[in-house]
Amino acid sequence: MRIIIVNDHAHINGGAAKVAIDSAKGFARRGHRVVYFAAVGPVEPGLVEAGVDVVLLDQPDIASAGSLTRFGLQWLWNAGASEKLAALRADYDPAETIVHVHGWAKALSPSIGRPLTRTRLPVVHTLHEYYLACPNGGFYDYGAARNCGRAAMSPGCLLHNCDSRGYHRKLMRVGRHALMRKASGLVETARHVITLSRLQREAVAPYLPRAVFHDVGNPIDVTDQGPRRAAETGDFIFVGRLSAEKGARYFAQAARLAEVTPVFIGDGPEREALARAFPQARFLGWLAPEAVRAQMRAARALVFPSVWYEGQPLTVLESLALGAPVIVSDICAGREAVMDGENGYWFRSANPESLAQAILRLKDDAVARRMSDAAHARYWRDPLTLDRHLDAVSAVYDAALADQRRRA
């Protein structure tokens, strides 16, 4: 099989890029010919070492662009990406080739839909975010700091400012979204769509009525260290970006109510304000992956208070695999991995009192030990390894190829 993996970045800068790169390397090592098509460098060295052919446009993203005006044109319609992808796909036989799109919203733009609709190559999309359905990619109202209940592109959506940078940026997003849906053809290529959770599939299904959905979880990079011996020790920790949508403030408020010290691993725009308002909190900043896993392994519990849908929070699954129970918001996809009262607790989203009650229950040493054992055992009965992930994605590829043959 020949596989063209499409993603904004050729290096690991987040969960989507890690999954795209790890799967590219995995499929190459299985003997498939893999091409990794990306806009933004540098190139992850492991791609080349695994035998993956990398096509890098060497373009900026919003974080590295020297001129926002110039990047705005690329963000709206990346003509270079469209032309290069058109030239690339012309060399491949549709009977044995798959195009797998992981991410396009940060640099590649909706323009990649144009060459994909003009080819007979079957296309698979993995929805790491919600950009195929929602202009801001998250069904999230940044101004109100809560999930948005409006239908995407409805009059209510168009008139409401949900963008963190102002209504002018919201209008830019609306314009690009309209271009994507009406002119790029990108939505039409989303016939076979990989979703990471049931909640994600339910959220996007009304916007992709012709799609065939495949539930495939992302792989988790963690090894089995066995059940924990001192599960009742350790802190209540938060891991991730310190921003409003991640709910860090609710954790700090709940920790104060429950009389525990909140520990934050990560950084973000809310750090300074949180440090002023909650001087008892500990802030460790961003740590290396090994150090984060060590913190999870030692924690009494992970608190995941996100107030937006998420897709598949890898932090939740890593924590469970390491034997740390999880207290999770009932509105986000992370709840699907947590059996309330067995390997963690659900709490009412954006409600610090509800979160504090869950923390108080896990302060009981016997409860902490029982939940730690359950978290480890439940995860490792059905672990999300890279090999199992590749097997599941291969089945989606086979379905897409068969579908393409029938349609041809």
SS3 282: strand
Q: Looking at per-residue confidence, does 47 or 64 come out higher?
A: 47
User: What's the CA gap between 1 and 58, in Å, rounded?
Assistant: 27
Res 271: pLDDT: 97
User: What's the CA gap between 1 and 216, in Å, rounded?
Assistant: 20
User: What's the CA gap between 4 and 53, in Å, rounded?
Assistant: 9
SS3 77: coil
Q: How far is CA 167 from CA 47, 170, 285, 305, in A?
A: 40, 5, 31, 27
pTM comes to 0.93
Per-residue pLDDT tens over the stretch 328-358 = 999 999 999 999 999 999 999 999 999 999 9
310 within 8 A of 317, measured Cβ to Cβ:
no
Give backbone dihedrals phi and psi of 321, rounded to 5 degrees, phi first: -60, -30
Kindly give the residue spans of alpha helices, DSSP state H, lying in 267-364: 271-277, 289-298, 314-321, 352-362
97 within 8 A of 1, measured Cβ to Cβ:
yes
Res 119: pLDDT: 83
* pLDDT surpasses 90 at 292: yes
Res 66: pLDDT: 67
Average pLDDT score over the chain: 95
Res 64: pLDDT: 82
Res 356: pLDDT: 98
Q: How far apart are the first and last CA of the chain?
A: 19
350 Cβ neighbours under 8 A, 6+ residues apart: 145, 146, 247, 250, 307, 329
Per-residue pLDDT tens over the stretch 139-185 = 999 988 888 989 999 999 999 999 988 999 999 999 999 999 999 99
E strands in 63-216: 97-101, 123-126, 140-141, 146-147, 192-195, 212-215
| Size (the chain), residues | 408
268 within 8 A of 243, measured Cβ to Cβ:
yes
User: What's the CA gap between 76 and 390, in Å, rounded?
Assistant: 32
Per-residue pLDDT tens over the stretch 363-407 = 999 999 999 999 999 999 999 999 999 999 999 999 999 999 898
* Torsion from C-alpha of 257, 259, 265, 266, nearest 10 degrees: 30
Cis? peptide before 227, omega within 30° of 0: no
Question: What is the full DSSP assignment across 305-323?
Answer: ---S--S--HHHHHHHHTT
Residue 155 burial (CB count, 10 A): 9
User: What's the CA gap between 287 and 292, in Å, rounded?
Assistant: 6
Per-residue pLDDT tens over the stretch 215-234 = 999 999 899 999 998 767 79
User: What's the CA gap between 369 and 373, in Å, rounded?
Assistant: 6
